[in-house]
Structure 1
Amino acid sequence: MKRRHFCGAAAAAAFAPLTSEAQGNSARIVVGFAAGGQGDVLARRLADLLRSTGYAETAIVENRPGAGGLVALQYVKAAPADGMTMLLGPASVMTILPHAFAKPLFDPFGDFSAAGAISDLDYVFTVHAGLPAATFAQYLELARKDPGVARYGTGGIGSGPHIVGYMLARATKTQIDHVPYRGGPAAFQDLMGAQIPATIGALNEAVVRNHKEGRLRALATSGRKRSVFLPDVPTFLELGYPDLVMTDMNGVWVPAKTPAAQTERLAGVVQELARDSAFLSKFSMESLPLNPEAFTRRLKSEYHAMRAHVKAIGFTAATP
């Protein structure tokens, strides 16, 4: 796989955040990917809960896409440590991105405090409905014959789906080119329009619904067991690829120096959302109510496990 570079404008795009005085009692939930994905669904629900529980008088959701989530991450890192600016997104921004740079741009545990996990998620390999591949094996057969088929889109370089795609290419000994997009929804839109033959992304309601309606085909998922939302779709593990097991988590973080009492207040609201399995299941998400301590332990474990996978990809990320 060719060595790739992140856009050097990532830091410039992360404009200086508001001061605590300017923010008042207004919460800002920052999502590092374009609108339309799982992050938006969770952020809007969290905003409702922040208001209804009295955590904040107002709460807004702000999308700051770019560099696989780095733009939003840098923005929150520089925000006032008052618990009113928070990052909501996949744990992979904390477990993968730190390993992508020769000189780390942030410390996921020194610069941020985890406020808790909300949901667990698998990744899913999908193809557009016009591709004559009903199984993953059939897709590989086509990809080995036609370079035009041997392409997959993801939400960005250095993302969890990108890692899965690289591992997939190595495990299957097939050259499959990565096509990064500015967020998963953009890749999904091109898949639905047959502009790209395949995608790897978060298993979500749109994938489940369109798979059931025959508008796309989900061929494999990355978890250890089949998803309850796609019970007819095998895992890569079932298909004979034991190294292709990878899951992610959606969670919330605040700047590291946020007072512990404020982080605990926020954690209570995050857990209220995490325990709302009825709401989460509507969007094909499984509840994962981990408190800050449990979430941090799991993050540290996955952080160390991902180091080897990320370094094996062979790309370098230019320092913004």
Structure 2
Amino acid sequence: MQRLDAKGDLSCRHLQTGRQWLLYDATIDGRLDAFGGCGTSFLATGIRATGGISLRKATVDEQIDLTQAQVDGPVWLSHTHVGDHLDAGAAEFRDRLSLSHCRVGGDVTLRDTTVQDGLSLGHLHACGTVDAARLHVANGVDATSSQFDDEVDFTELTTADGHLVFDYATFDAAVYFDASTVDSPRLSFENAHFDRTISFVRAAIAGTLSFSGARFTPQSQFRMVESTVGRDVVCDHATVDGEMYWNTSRVNENVDVSDCTITALEFGVEIGGRLDFAYTYVTERAGFTETTVHGPARFTCARFDSEPSLTDATLEGAVATYDLTVQTPELSR
């Protein structure tokens, strides 16, 4: 079926083949429906479909290849099991792309891909790496409760409109949003779990960045360097057993790091609004070097097990330090 030219819908529901299904450079002037299919591989490099593609609830032993695809309608790969890798790189999806509830045994590639009406990754389980460098998405990303076993790369991600939601997601390896431009109202990792680094280096986030209730293991680093956040950063009730390293970054409105437990903190941020550090416990080192807070700062009931560094810090508004505790080396002896 290579270079197939179909003038209408193509229905192959529950198709079973013991070998590869080849649709290289196919043109379908309608919808491709392969719901419930079963085969070794689905290879559709360069496919063009005006009505969308459905591979829902399919079982593919080896790979799905949609490299350089151009699809006008929605693409549904939800509830599909892929034994090895899923490649949708350098593709253009002019409607929604859904990988929700998929299990991919190998790598997922979305590099240089455009998705114009939302990307669904909810409950996706990616066992290999996820390469989404230079991915462009309009109208949001939903990756709620997704599981990533290996490295995730969203370097140079660009988004427009819609929320980006990674709430309750699990990242067992590093995840990178370096040099990303998130022109969306909210990027959320609430109650997410991080076992290694999450990195925002030279990232530009137009809306609110939320890590409320997130958990970082001792091997992790929460890194934000030379980045800007257009609205708030919310990290209340987070547990950072590794290092929170924020340096030479700016948050235009407020930063909430209240009710947190943090092992190591390096905090060099310019904050346009208020800083809330109330009830937060820093168990090892804490540095606020070159931090500037233009609004009020609240450290009520905060606790530091070592004396925090305030070198070149500037607090322009009112500072609340009621019941602040600093455990100096002299007091600990």
Name the TM tier (shorter chain): under 0.3
TM-score (norm 1): 0.23
The structure with more strand, counted as a fraction of residues? 2
Structure with greater contact order relative to length (CA < 8 Å, sep ≥ 6): 1
Which is greater in Rg?
2
Could you say which structure has the higher helix fraction?
1
